[in-house]
Amino acid sequence: MLSTLGFSVLRRLSDGELHSGEALAAATGVTRARVSQLLREAAASGLKLESVRGRGYRLLEALPFLERGAIVRALGTTTDLSIEVVDTIDSTSSELSRRTPRRDIHRHVLAAEWQTAGHGRRGRRWASVAGGSLTFSLGWRFEQSAGHLSGLTLAVGLALVRALEGLGFADVELKWPNDLVHRRSKLGGILVELAGDASGPSLAIIGVGLNVLLPPAMRREIDQPVTDLSHISRGHSIDRNVLLARALDELVKVLDQFAEYGFAPLRTAWQRRHALQRKSVRIVLPDGNNARGEVIGVDADGALVLESKGHRLRFLSGEVSLVRG
């Protein structure tokens, strides 16, 4: 597991140049033996390091870290978001949730290089890669109650796809209700957690994880087909600071629209990017029952609509998979 101290060493190696063990130890205030241990931990996390005898260490690929200043510059003056970047944390969403009793997190962004306990829907673990993931959470307050925010996860997905399209990533699609996919392989995920009074207002903590560059070893550990932005862009370098800024810019636009009009005006644009539109699928419901049918689309509330044996069925939650053959 990468520590804050480990990141202090990695930041000095982020230029891809050789740095001696003595220089790294002096800069971070630890021993050379501790530097070696920290670099072994970094290598175990999937980073490619090279040790050159008598000269020092370097990252085989330059690793541009997330930097608050770079994100703010890329955003410009179009938003009034509060931006915070940390090296390591258990979960950005969990941290924002812990802060809610004592401070306002509306329009606050918390991004992390490394999450030790990142999570997705149904408690699934979200794997994090130092320098190879984009993981962040955004707090957003709505005047409506949580019951009136159906379709919010879909709206967030649409904003993220629009951001990727604007950066030149083609053929990224949405899989109901919360996945970003490319050619049927998972690229990213969204987890929205809602809290508030029955009559409003309510607070959403919007958690996002995108795969930027997944090491082969991590791909083998994941129990479903996955992809990353590096693969989609055919190895071209990706500035995660710009990527995060574009994502936030689109999120602000969509969330402001959603707060006023709900999901309905976004429905058509979302369906154009739906990976399973007009496909035969099976949906497993939270109670264990399942249904099959052809995806008609989503309704104005973001519910999935299937046609099954001459009937139209509507689902607000469930796990959807493609029926082959």
pLDDT for position 16: 81
pLDDT for position 313: 97
User: Contact at 8 Å (CB) between 108 and 79?
Assistant: no
User: Contact at 8 Å (CB) between 295 and 283?
Assistant: no
pLDDT for position 48: 81
For residue 89, give the 3-state DSSP assignment: strand
- If residue 284 lies in a helix (H) or strand (E), which one and from where to where? strand 280-284
Give the whole-angstrom CA distance, residue 276 versus residue 203: 30
Domains in the chain, CATH or no CATH each:
4-59 (1.10.10.10), 68-271 (3.30.930.10), 276-322 (2.30.30.100)
CB-hemisphere CA count at 13 Å for 313?
A: 18
Please state the pTM of the whole predicted model: 0.89
Per-residue pLDDT of the chain in tens (325 residues, 90 and over written 9):
677 888 888 888 888 889 999 999 999 899 999 999 989 888 877 778 889 988 999 988 767 789 999 999 999 876 789 999 999 999 999 999 999 999 999 999 999 998 988 765 555 666 677 788 999 999 999 999 998 999 999 999 999 999 999 999 999 999 999 999 999 999 999 999 999 888 879 999 999 999 998 877 777 778 789 999 999 998 778 999 999 999 999 999 999 999 999 999 999 999 999 999 999 999 999 999 999 999 999 999 999 999 999 999 999 999 999 998 6
For residue 35, give the 3-state DSSP assignment: helix
Which strands, in side-by-side order, build the sheet including 304-308?
311-315, 304-308, 290-298, 280-284, 319-322
pLDDT for position 232: 95
pLDDT for position 223: 79
pLDDT for position 97: 96
Candidates 303, 307, 296; CA nearest to 317 is: 303
